[in-house]
Amino acid sequence: MNTLVCITPGTFEYQLAEKPVLSPGHAIIKIKRIGICGTDLHAFEGTQPFFSYPRVLGHELSGELIEFDGAEGFEKGEAVTFIPYFNCGICIACRSGKPNCCTDIKVCGVHVDGGMAEYLSVPSHLLIHGEGLSFDELALVEPLAIGAHGVKRADVRKDEFVLVIGAGPIGLGTMEFARIAGAKVIALDINDARLKFCKEKLNVPHVVNALAPDVLEQLKEITDGDMPTVVIDATGSLKAINNAFQYMAHGARFVLIGLQKENISFSHPEFHKREATLMSSRNATRQDFEHVIRSMKAGLVEPATYITHRVLFEEVKDEFKGWLDPKNGVIKAVVSL
């Protein structure tokens, strides 16, 4: 089968590999769609934590189930996606119902080879029914689940102000699920085109450019002087994360979905006087995937809104670098096989 391998940062190479053979407790998916996410872009740049080369990227995937063992209730030929976080099942996190942060987690396309290939073998217990959704829609379930999990971690409540920093695909999904939870959403980004997308395509009521000299004043005005009670970072930018501590209301929760390599720095007195809560949000759970699929089927989320670029598998090597350039306006690129 054909695969696309990231050999080193900045270098892709098409290679032939053996088609996977069915093994106990696993399923083989014929890949139909691959969503390109920030993890893939950062791996190509060489800035992704927990990463080694060479690696077959790709974990936002959908396809046709062609063989399986131990997947009761599934049928051959069914359209599926899957949870791309291969967990051990026995560590403290797994035993506590948090397989998304398993101590020995293997994320597909990060720690182990992913889905930029014609076929992929995955553990059967991680399969997700397609529920009548298209391959395009199913490939977007995972990135939307990341945002849904962050919103769940924040315990977002009806009518509270939620500030989402970063209007990339993960941030946009976070905004959607904050809205679904009943929040009043504020989008913060440095890219006016993306803020316009938030306003016009996702109906986000409040947008603020992070480069404006009066960000604090704008947030105070929007929130009637209270400041946001939930702040969620979806940038993975150290500067954005450190700046965001000042945007928190007293009693607020700050959730880090974005990931970067350095130490976070903030004023302890300022954080302490707010009795604030800081937490991370890693990956997503089956419950989050199911929440996303229900929301899609109910028309609460329109996945097609996110897809701005489409290419065939054989075109990825030549097109990929261009997706890093903000001038190209990429929200979500989707690869078809």
Residue 50 has pLDDT above 90, yes or no: no
List pLDDT tens digits, range 199-251: 999 999 999 999 999 999 999 999 999 999 999 999 989 999 999 999 999 99
CA pseudo-torsion sign 132, 138, 142, 148:
negative
pLDDT at 47: 77
**Which CA distances in Å does 176 have to 62, 152, 302, 330, 331?**
21, 12, 10, 18, 15
Residue 253 has pLDDT above 80, yes or no: yes
Q: What are phi and psi of 45, to 5 degrees?
A: -75, -25
**Which CA distances in Å does 69 have to 66, 77, 88?**
11, 14, 18
pLDDT at 116: 97
List pLDDT tens digits, range 280-335: 999 999 999 999 999 999 999 998 899 999 999 999 999 999 998 888 889 999 99
Residue 52 has pLDDT above 90, yes or no: no
Q: What would the mean pLDDT of 130-146 be, rounded to a whole number?
A: 97
Residue 196 has pLDDT above 90, yes or no: yes
**Could you tell me the maximum CA-CA distance found in the chain, to the nearest angstrom?**
61
pLDDT at 54: 95
Question: The tokens of 133 are what?
Answer: 């959704």
CA pseudo-torsion sign 200, 215, 41, 292:
negative
Residue 130 has pLDDT above 80, yes or no: yes
- CB crowding 266-286: b at 16 or more within 10 Å, else e: beeeeeeebebeeeebbbbbe
Query: What pTM was computed for the model?
Result: 0.94
pLDDT at 51: 80
Round to whole Å and give the CA distance between 101 and 91: 10
Q: What would the mean pLDDT of 53-66 be, rounded to a whole number?
A: 97
Helical spans, DSSP H, in 235-307? 238-244, 268-273, 286-297
Round to whole Å and give the CA distance between 27 and 134: 20
Round to whole Å and give the CA distance between 5 and 129: 28
Residue with tokens 């927990």: 50
Coil, helix or strand at residue 218: helix
List pLDDT tens digits, range 14-43: 999 999 999 999 999 999 999 998 889 888
Residue with tokens 């996410």: 37
Counted residue by residue, the chain has a size of: 337
pLDDT at 329: 87
Is the N-terminal amide bond of 54 cis, ω within 30° of 0? yes
Residue 48 has pLDDT above 80, yes or no: no
Which residues on neighbouring strands pair with residue 310, listed in sequence order? Answer: 334
Beta strands in 10-166 (DSSP E): 11-16, 26-36, 60-68, 79-82, 85-86, 106-107, 119-123, 127-129, 161-165
Round to whole Å and give the CA distance between 262 and 80: 37
Q: What are phi and psi of 304, to 5 degrees?
A: -60, -25
Round to whole Å and give the CA distance between 93 and 100: 8
pLDDT at 178: 98
Round to whole Å and give the CA distance between 198 and 261: 28
CB burial class (10 A; 0-12, 13-18, 19+) of residue 97?
Answer: exposed
Given a contact cutoff of 8 angstroms between Cβ atoms, the answer to whether 15 and 39 are in contact is: no
Beta strands at 161-165 and 184-189: parallel, antiparallel or unpaired: parallel
